[in-house]
A and B are shown apart, each in its own frame.
Chain A
Amino acid sequence: MINIPSTIKISFKSLRVNKMRSALTMLGIVIGVGAVITMLAVGSGASQKIEEQISSMGSNLLMILPGATTAGGVRMGIGTQPTLSMDDTEAIQRECPSVLYVAPIHSGIAQIIYGNQNWSTGVVGTTPSMLYIRDWQLEQGRPFTEEDVRNASKVCLLGQTVIDSLFGSINPVGQIIRIKNVPFTVIGVLEKKGQSPMGQDQDDTIYIPVTTAQKKLFGTAFPGMVRLIMVKAQSKEDLNAAEKQIAELLRQRHRIGQKQDDDFTVRNLTQAMQASEQSAKVMTLLLGAIASVSLLVGGIGIMNIMLVSVTERTREIGIRMAVGAKTWDIRLQFIIEALTLSLIGGAFGIIIGISGSKVLSMIAGWPTIVSPLSISLAFSFSGIVGIFFGFYPAYKASLLDPIDALRYE
């Protein structure tokens, strides 16, 4: 019969006797567990950041671009042929059940003037649905309405970057700015969104009613045509259905025959983003795998020390056997010693891992997330390492012959 509590006591005692050695052996596991936790934190921090950027774009997005025009045998590329109209936009909203919101975009670059300041930025003509598509809230003021679109009102919503460049500390709502010398009233301020996954500044923008953009700013040779259409699907699962419904509807509306190519392109923006999210997750796994190699090395350190310890304590093992220790009493004693080393090391490793992640995000500015899962994973892995690498020395100890062991000098 094996007395577990007293075996644990014996193990603790012998570790205390060799404090320095025990501490150094633990250090390997401390570093291993710390590295695993830190690397997983860096990885999941990166994933989370990408996820945030994706959701800042708005979720479940489709973008419809006009088709390519051909001039004298030269194909001009996507978006050169004005094939998308305001009517298409309304038809999509009306007839595609998987579509939640639709908004047209008619945009251009323009110089903006306020007082003695000026700034060049993208001016986006669109409809009120755009704010829902992009999940974009207003920081203050009000959004423009369907009525503003109908009347081609000269009102605008400003992004944070534009405000910083033009207004400084003045409250922009109610002020008049000039876009291409046309006066616009600022009616609202868009909340800060930060970088897009492509690295663009999403806040360097101005939203105005699409009709105003068409009639008063950028003009168009084909009245009622738009540069592109943004669509938000009902849900992630509806994305493919929405893509199909839109293609079918537009082919029908544009009277495209069976054998003809589409005169538009539907792009799934979310898919592209998800690919980069996927690669971030793969990176997390990779970092974790590399870090666990150091945990393995720590385990080999434990085995090394335990083997030395078994040899040094041959006589002690002999005495224990003589007074009645059985095979598994001896084995358990050494396994528990190894396990104690690795688990105490693991506990310190958790502290190192958490503070390491904090330091990394402070110094390098990387976002890090320490998840409870990564902590329990690293800790239980350290336990497994302890048992695994403790077993061989323990097995060796239990095979000693008590007579030889008692005579060992």
Chain B
Amino acid sequence: MAIIETREITKVYKIGDIAVNALNSVSLLIEKGEFAAIMGPSGSGKSTFMNILGCLDKPTSGRYLLEGADISGLRKDDLSTIRNKNIGFVFQGFNLLPRTSAIENVELPMLYNSFSANERSQRAEAALKKVGLSGRENHHPNQLSGGQQQRVAIARALVNNASIILADEPTGNLDTKTSAEIMELFTKLNTESNITIILVTHEHDIAAYSRRIIKFLDGYVVSDETKT
């Protein structure tokens, strides 16, 4: 069974009287443990697609099955629960809470779940260790480098044992060397922990870390290549 399956997903935005088709019947299958890159120019619909995959947005029509379950008809709070349990987000701008220590940032998803304070700090420490940030638990985001901040964000995505990590241009704000380190971390999580990773990127050398490249243009999937 595919971990992600979309069937003819369409997303239409209405801007005034003009309807813009951001996605045109996109049907895709992503298996558990895949490492896929989504590429395409601005306005190609890749961000809209990622928002739908991340249950932050709902398709106008079509069906989205996450681990076999149809989430199209779910309510806002049910989507929150799915995001909390199944999906980890990594953003271009890191999106950490300012004036909040690294470990508290990592604990954030667990606050909206039934963990005791003890469990929370243990799991957050373990997640920080996994991304190589042991000893930085009490640093605030402004005391960390960009790469370290992105590692905190990855730890936050991991901490609830999400099966999918959605990364929206995770290296967009990082230099080449740090970008490579982050991509190696993703590769390690993918191969060692069998976490499904889907990332959006402009850059071919970043996309090269993945084993499958899906290209979007004007709301259509124009190519879908898997490395052999």
Chain A interface (Cβ < 8 Å from any Cβ of B): 1, 3, 5-7, 10, 13, 17, 315-316, 318-327, 329, 402-403, 406
Contact = CB atoms under 8 A, between A and B. Distances in A.
B156 A17 contact: no
Nearest first, the 4 closest Cβ-Cβ pairs linking A and B are A324-B84, A323-B109, A324-B112, A326-B77
Contacts of B112: 3, 320, 323-326, 329
Contacts of A5: 117
A402 B56 contact: yes
Nearest to A5: B117
Contact of B95 (A17, A315, A327): A315
A406 B109 contact: no
Contacts of B91: 406
B81 A326 contact: yes
A323 B57 contact: no
B84 A323 contact: yes
Nearest to A18: B99
A320 B114 CA distance: 16
Interface in B95-118: 95-97, 99-100, 108-109, 111-114, 117
B111 A327 contact: no
Nearest to B91: A406
A10 B111 contact: yes
B51 interface: yes
Interface in B134-160: 156, 160
B129 interface: no
B89 A322 contact: yes
B77 A322 contact: no
Given A320-B108, A323-B89, A325-B112, A406 B81 contact: no
Interface in B23-62: 51, 54, 56-57
B191 interface: no
B95 A1 contact: no
Given A316-B97, A403-B57, A406-B95, A321 B111 contact: no
Contacts of B100: 13
Contacts of A326: 76-77, 80-81, 112
A403 B54 CA distance: 10
A319 B108 contact: yes
A338 to B, nearest CB: 19
A323 B51 contact: no
Given A3-B112, A13-B100, A316-B97, A322 B56 contact: yes
Interface in B69-87: 76-77, 80-81, 83-85
B60 to A, nearest CB: 15
Contact of A323 (B76, B99, B108, B117): B108
Interface string B112-126: 111001000000000
**Residue from the set B51, B81, B84, B97 with the largest chain A CB neighbour count within 10 Å:** B97
A324 B95 contact: no
B83 A324 contact: yes
A320 B112 CA distance: 9
A323 B91 CA distance: 12
Contacts of B76: 326-327
A108 B89 CA distance: 98
Given A6-B117, A323-B83, A323-B156, 7 more contacts: A3-B111, A320-B108, A323-B108, A323-B112, A324-B81, A325-B111, A403-B51
Contacts of B117: 5-6
Nearest to A324: B84
A1 B77 contact: no
